[in-house]
Amino acid sequence: MAFTEFRPLDEKSLVDYIKFVPALFSKLGNNLDGLTIKEVGDGNLNFVYIVAGPSGSFVIKQALPYIRCIGESWPMTKERAYFEALALKEQGHWSPDHVPEVYHFDRTMSLIGMRYLEPPHIILRKGLIAGIEYPLLAEHISDYMAKTLFHTSLLYHSTTDHKHAVAEFCGNLELCRLTEQVVFSDPYKVSQYNRWTTPYLDHDAEAVREDNALKVEIGELKSKFIERAQALIHGDLHTGSVMVTLESTQVIDPEFAFYGPIGFDVGAFIGNLILAYFSQDGHADGGNDRKSYKEWILRTIADTWNLFQKKFIALWDEHKDGSGEAYLPAIYNNSEVQHLVQKRYVEDLFHDTLGFGAAKMIRRVVGVAHVEDFESISDAKKRASCERRALDMAKLLLKERKKFHAIDQIVTAMQQVA
Amino acid sequence: MAFTEFRPLDEKSLVDYIKFVPALFSKLGNNLDGLTIKEVGDGNLNFVYIVAGPSGSFVIKQALPYIRCIGESWPMTKERAYFEALALKEQGHWSPDHVPEVYHFDRTMSLIGMRYLEPPHIILRKGLIAGIEYPLLAEHISDYMAKTLFHTSLLYHSTTDHKHAVAEFCGNLELCRLTEQVVFSDPYKVSQYNRWTTPYLDHDAEAVREDNALKVEIGELKSKFIERAQALIHGDLHTGSVMVTLESTQVIDPEFAFYGPIGFDVGAFIGNLILAYFSQDGHADGGNDRKSYKEWILRTIADTWNLFQKKFIALWDEHKDGSGEAYLPAIYNNSEVQHLVQKRYVEDLFHDTLGFGAAKMIRRVVGVAHVEDFESISDAKKRASCERRALDMAKLLLKERKKFHAIDQIVTAMQQVA
Ligand SMILES: Nc1ncnc2c1ncn2[C@@H]1O[C@H](COP(=O)(O)OP(=O)(O)O)[C@@H](O)[C@H]1O
Ligand SMILES: Nc1ncnc2c1ncn2[C@@H]1O[C@H](COP(=O)(O)OP(=O)(O)O)[C@@H](O)[C@H]1O
Ligand SMILES: [Mg+2]
Ligand SMILES: [Mg+2]
Ligand SMILES: [Mg+2]
Ligand SMILES: [Mg+2]
Ligand SMILES: [Mg+2]
């Protein structure tokens, strides 16, 4: 059976497909005996199959031309698989330790074959809900972010390379539009897709829709999200796009990748750690009050930012006489000016990070897609109380972000709220 | 003779070309009798021919694969003609009164046929040097800028349209790179191309190359120039790209067009008016002290900005329920929030305008390409004194731009310098 046209696969037809693709078949030792195939997609958009045999394994991810969790009523280009594969390869090139290897990509089938992140890898969000500390998380994720974002920015790119890449990823506009809608628009207006913990947060949701000062900020960030081609960003870097063990951190699912503001990635990750923090009281019980776990989350937030900025700047210093065309060495030719431009760059990035992070938090409380951190708190009143603190924190960050100058101030502000 | 491959034309071969192109030949009434062809390109990059016969006329502009004023030693893609033609058509669509009509475009030949802007049209810069007041200039240029920039921004575009257009104009990267070099880089470093009125400005040129605070600002603007796809900008909107009579204002030469920051266009125009202002003392003589002309320039600067922002905002109000996806009407649904976002947008635009305008001024004093406003002051010492005041003003604007909030403050600052 040939696969010359797109069709959705299932556990059965996937076997035929694998036989047809040497790059995949060979991973199984060209042998289908004892093969197991299991669909495990718990994400919102796509189908993910774990394929495992006695001599090898891989994961197959296929995009269908609609959004899985909504259904065919919300069409979405399956070309997103093309951009996901492109991004996985680029990010894997710069951060091979933290990105699963791509074995195979089939544009016609909107299908990616990649390394199976075998157990005990779990989705980070689930680990955060379970209260598991990941001692290397900040180190790893800061490494991934610094490397992938630095090397695709003008600090490393020639402007020629940059514009070619920007133009290519303009093609991923349908996914950008989805973010524009669900992150930057829907939470601030009446939308059929919005939901929140009712009736407790009815007033809070309404307040978001009537907060003019908030709308000014989200409007500025929305335009920046669309206009500012600063680096190849993952575009969906929440804690559900990271798989972890105690020793390993792997970033999956960059189907929203495009050239956008760096702070959108850093903010997504940190914003989701802040959500995890505010959800902890909902998971506390007699056996575990989650107090020390909350401290660990706070430390991880601070470490993530501090390590990220340190590594990003170290890459900048390392490559300051290199290919990047934003700051030419003949101009930025003394350590004082080098220090000043880096300070300016990082300050701007910090404010973007807070703003975008806050935007990602707000939409998880009053928008279409919620997070398991809160959803798994079954007592609605308790859940609402956690969500409200997260929401209030996010509103503060979005409106007042330019008044903050260090991550410690964010940690302090969080401790004051809860 | 066919023209199936690129070749540079001259007055003679152009006749053959015209015969071959009905869109042009018909403009002459399909008749070559009494035809005159004259090369008039006084610009830096291309060849421009005025073609006039008894029953019609047009201009032919051809790009050669190098920069005319430097020669074949500085290669430059002739594909710039494609982007110039695209931009002329788009800008002409939105502002037909202020853009010459395109009659013909030949990509193979990198050749544009367009309306001949007949005498008494002259290049605005020459009119400013001659001390001629153009009572409609601010009205017209603000109209052109407001219309072309608004309608190609996210205030009018869907994000889909925007990203398609952004991707297309990423192709004009060689011209963008030229701007990056000559505006944002060369003046701030030692470069074989830089020149200035020596020996008078030797110290001033050196001071620019050693001013760390200035380098921080120009670095930020350079990245913004490359990264921020805010609207389809002309990209070279100095007073040498505008042809005028007392009643007419026509914007030519958008070969540098791409999706960039709006303030780069507005700043280019206003920055060049500021240069014209500071050059006036060099043109004063017994018969005309240029005092009242300087007042007119100041008024024109203020009017240009004020009318531009008024018209831009009026277009925004008019289209607030339209196709633009940056500020959705369901969110920006009351006049207070509408006012707040517009205020934020315009404030940001004002600061970009000052910064980019200042950058364009600096490069005209210490960079590769100077302006006739100063070059035509034959007394080098007098010229240097005019240039120094312009340079000092520009440095102030670049460094302190965020402290200014209205164009009147710029006018006042200019009056204090000279
Ligand atoms: N390479 C992989 N190894 C192991 N599990 C994976 C891998 N990729 C995806 N998964 C599992 O599939 C789920 C959905 O994958 P994801 O790429 O996030 O899809 P979606 O785009 O639909 O969100 C993940 O949450 C994870 O549990
Ligand atoms: N449409 C036109 N009508 C009349 N003169 C024109 C026209 N276009 C260009 N010119 C003349 O040719 C000169 C160079 O044109 P321009 O488009 O600025 O070329 P360049 O890209 O080389 O700067 C202008 O300064 C002007 O004098
Ligand atoms: Mg996912
Ligand atoms: Mg690259
Ligand atoms: Mg996904
Ligand atoms: Mg010109
Ligand atoms: Mg030109």
Write out pLDDT tens, residues A332-385. Answer: 999 999 999 999 999 999 999 999 999 999 999 999 999 999 999 999 999 999
pLDDT at A264: 99
Residue B6 lies in a domain: no
Q: What share of chain A is helix, strand, coil (3-state, %, to 5)?
A: 55, 10, 30
Alpha carbons within 13 angstroms on the beta-carbon side of residue A260 total 33
Task: Evaluate whether B41 touches B253 at the Cβ level (below 8 Å).
Answer: no
Q: How far is CA A192 from the centre of its chain?
A: 25
Could you read off the pLDDT of B161-203 as tens digits, one per residue?
A: 999 999 999 999 999 999 999 999 999 999 999 999 999 999 9
Residue A214 lies in a domain: yes
Which of residues B114, B130, B163 is at a domain's end? B114
Q: Which ligand is nearest to the CA of B61?
A: 2
Residue A6 lies in a domain: no
- Which residue of chain A is at minimal alpha-carbon distance from B344? A216
Q: Which atom of ligand 2 is nearest to the CA of B100?
A: 1
Q: Which residues contact B417 (CB under 8 A, 6 or more apart)?
A: B278, B389, B392, B393
Q: Which residues contact B329 (CB under 8 A, 6 or more apart)?
A: B320, B321
Q: Which ligand is nearest to the CA of A61?
A: 1
Q: In this structure, are A128 and A79 located in the same domain?
A: no
Which of residues B60, B92, B114 is at a domain's end? B114
Task: Evaluate whether B387 touches B275 at the Cβ level (below 8 Å).
Answer: no
Q: Is the pLDDT of residue A41 over 90?
A: no
The C-alpha atoms of residue A111 and residue A63 are separated, in whole angstroms, by 7
Contact across the interface for A154 and B226, Cβ inside 8 Å = yes
**For residue A250, what are its two tokens?**
């792997």
Average model confidence (pLDDT) for chain A? 97
For residue A166, the chain B residues in CB contact (below 8 A) are 166-167, 170
The total of other beta-carbon atoms located within 10 Å of residue B185's CB is 22
Q: Which residues contact B253 (CB under 8 A, 6 or more apart)?
A: B43, B84, B236, B240, B241
CATH number for the domain spanning A80: value is 3.30.200.20
Q: Is the pLDDT of residue A43 over 70?
A: no
The C-alpha atoms of residue B369 and residue B196 are separated, in whole angstroms, by 10
pLDDT at A1: 60
pLDDT at B31: 94
Q: Is the pLDDT of residue A30 over 90?
A: yes
Residue B187 lies in a domain: yes
Calculate ∠ Cα A280-A140-A297, nearest 5°: 20
Which of residues A81, A114, A147 is at a domain's end? A114
CA nearest to B9, candidates B102, B119, B21, B83: B21
Tell whether omega for the bond before B329 is within 30 degrees of 0, i.e. cis. Answer: no
Query: What number is the average pLDDT over the span A270-284?
Result: 98
SS3 B378: coil
pLDDT at B173: 97
Query: What number is the average pLDDT over the span A389-405?
Result: 98
Query: What number is the average pLDDT over the span A134-163?
Result: 98
Residue A275 lies in a domain: yes
Structural domain span for residue A395: 122-417
| Number of independent structural domains in chain A | 2
pLDDT band at A55, cuts 50/70/90?
Answer: very high
| A379-387 long-range contacts, CB within 8 A, separation 24+ | A379/A282, A380/A197, A380/A200, A381/A200, A382/A281, A382/A282, A383/A197, A383/A282, A384/A197, A384/A200, A384/A201, A385/A200, A385/A281, A385/A282, A386/A278, A386/A279, A386/A281, A386/A282, A387/A196, A387/A197, A387/A201, A387/A278
Nearest to A222 among B170, B171, B326 (CB): B326
Task: Evaluate whether B361 touches B274 at the Cβ level (below 8 Å).
Answer: yes
The C-alpha atoms of residue B90 and residue A66 are separated, in whole angstroms, by 34
Residue A4 lies in a domain: no
pLDDT at B418: 63
Q: Is the pLDDT of residue A404 over 70?
A: yes
Low-confidence ranges of chain B (pLDDT < 50): none
CATH number for the domain spanning B407: value is 3.90.1200.10
> What one-character DSSP code corresponds to residue A97?
G
Q: Is the pLDDT of residue A386 over 70?
A: yes
Query: What number is the average pLDDT over the span A180-203?
Result: 97
Q: Is the pLDDT of residue A236 over 80?
A: yes
Q: In this structure, are A231 and A365 located in the same domain?
A: yes
Could you tell me if the CB of B45 is within 6 A of ligand 2?
yes
pLDDT band at A417, cuts 50/70/90?
Answer: confident
Calculate ∠ Cα A139-A141-A144, nearest 5°: 110
